[in-house]
Amino acid sequence: MQAGLVWRRNPRYIVALLVTISITIYILIFSNIRHQDFEGEGNSELELRIDASEERYNKVLRSREGLIRIYGPDPKDIYLFPPDIAPWPPYTVWDFFPAAFNCPHEIERVGALGDGGKWVCGLSRVAEEPNCIVYSFGVNYESSFEAEVLKSTKYCQIWGYDFSVSTFGPEIPEALSNRTHFRAVGLAGENTYGPEDDPPMYTLETLMHNNGHSHIDILKIDIEKWEFETLSAFIRPYISSGRPLPFGQLQLEIHIWNKTFEQLLRWWESLEAAGLRPFWTEPNLVYLNYHRDQATPDLAEYSFLNAKGNNIFISDHPEDQSSSSYREVHHPHAPV
């Protein structure tokens, strides 16, 4: 009775209301279908952001090649730090390797603001991950980074290695030490741990095998220039086979002592070929301040995201290894 009265008095209102309800139902159904389509095709919002970052990163690669042509034109002709002579080249080596990849999550300083802290992409992604694994090479009795990782996560286990000290630093609270593991050994490109080898050195592959690990979420390396040998040996088989590296991100201090620009470029391009993308960098000004007579910033901190495969930082379904949001990067000098 009342419905008929409303219809006779306000027919346009009733029609508009019915149209609005119909459109709303249609949008909800269509949006759900589109969401299912995206998930089925692996085109989640996170993966789309990774793809967009990859496109921007490729633009930077083209700019690098242009810079090499200007100041080379061959890489062997480029100085790491040009001498102060006319014409004055307005660059240093680090300008060729900007941290141009966008982390798709929050970026935060983990650990001390001075030496020891690292910039991490999306620590929240492993905050409650039950199988979270962290490796830290180069402890040097300063463990503010490791301590904050432990405090910010519920389950992360940290494996630390450094032959120059006998334990983690004092920053790690006793209540969280049950999630830490330490060995006084070094990281290298080949195993040397016989009776006469002091200190004993292990490859990353060997340590992961010994620990029963197939994947590392966060890998921190500060090993005083041995990163070149170590990472070259480790990633070579992954490049050859096309497999993704078994870690999600890498916090790395690079020491270019006694290196040429050409050597650094070839090594850096191998990192890129393996899927590593730098999202943060800063020069080590503490080192420069205490070695002012050298007058060149030979050390720089870099943070890399592994953009190949389906690790937890680039995929909402890290257990699904069937798809990849990674696109191949082609370099004129890329390793074979």
* Domain-embedded: residue 302: yes
* Domain-embedded: residue 319: no
Residue 192: count of CB within 10 angstroms of its CB: 15
CA-closest candidate to residue 51, choices 43, 40, 60: 43
Do 214 and 89 belong together in one domain? yes
Span 305-313, average pLDDT: 96
Do 148 and 27 belong together in one domain? no
* Domain-embedded: residue 160: yes
183-234 pLDDT, tens digit each: 999 999 999 988 888 999 999 999 999 999 999 999 999 999 999 999 999 9
Do 24 and 56 belong together in one domain? no
CA distance 116 to 96: 25
CA distance 280 to 253: 12
If you write DSSP's letter for every residue of 147-211 in order, what string do you get?
Answer: HHHHHH-SS-EEEEE-TT-SS--TTS-GGGGGGEEEE--EE-SS-B-STT-SS-EE-HHHHHHHH
* Domain-embedded: residue 86: yes
Is the link from the previous residue into 87 a cis peptide, with omega within 30 of 0? yes
CA distance 103 to 57: 12
Long-range contact set of residues 257-263: C-beta below 8 Å, sequence gap at least 24:
257/225, 257/298, 258/225, 259/80, 259/228, 260/76, 260/80, 261/75, 261/76, 261/78, 261/79, 261/80, 261/93, 261/96, 262/75, 262/76, 262/78
Do 139 and 270 belong together in one domain? yes
Do 128 and 247 belong together in one domain? yes
- pLDDT confidence tier of residue 327, bands split at 50, 70 and 90: very low
Do 240 and 287 belong together in one domain? yes
Do 65 and 19 belong together in one domain? no
327 and 308 in contact (C-beta within 8 Å)? no
* Domain-embedded: residue 246: yes
* Domain-embedded: residue 324: no
Query: Which CATH number characterizes residue 265's domain?
Result: 3.40.50.150
Q: Give the range of the structural domain holding residue 35, as residue numbers without chain letter.
A: 2-40
- pLDDT confidence tier of residue 261, bands split at 50, 70 and 90: very high
* Domain-embedded: residue 312: no
Do 55 and 131 belong together in one domain? yes
19-62 pLDDT, tens digit each: 455 555 544 444 443 344 434 455 689 999 999 999 999 999 99
Do 162 and 19 belong together in one domain? no
Residue 197's pLDDT is 87
135 and 103 in contact (C-beta within 8 Å)? no
Residue 7's pLDDT is 45
> Around 234, how many Cα atoms within 13 Å sit in the side-chain half-sphere?
22
Span 113-142, average pLDDT: 95
Structurally, the chain folds into a number of domains equal to 2
Give the helix/strand (H/E) hosting 121.
strand 118-121
* Domain-embedded: residue 21: yes
Do 142 and 106 belong together in one domain? yes
CA distance 325 to 55: 12
Do 93 and 24 belong together in one domain? no
Q: What is the pTM of this model?
A: 0.83
Span 145-158, average pLDDT: 98
pLDDT, averaged across the chain: 87
Residue 30's pLDDT is 43
Do 50 and 35 belong together in one domain? no
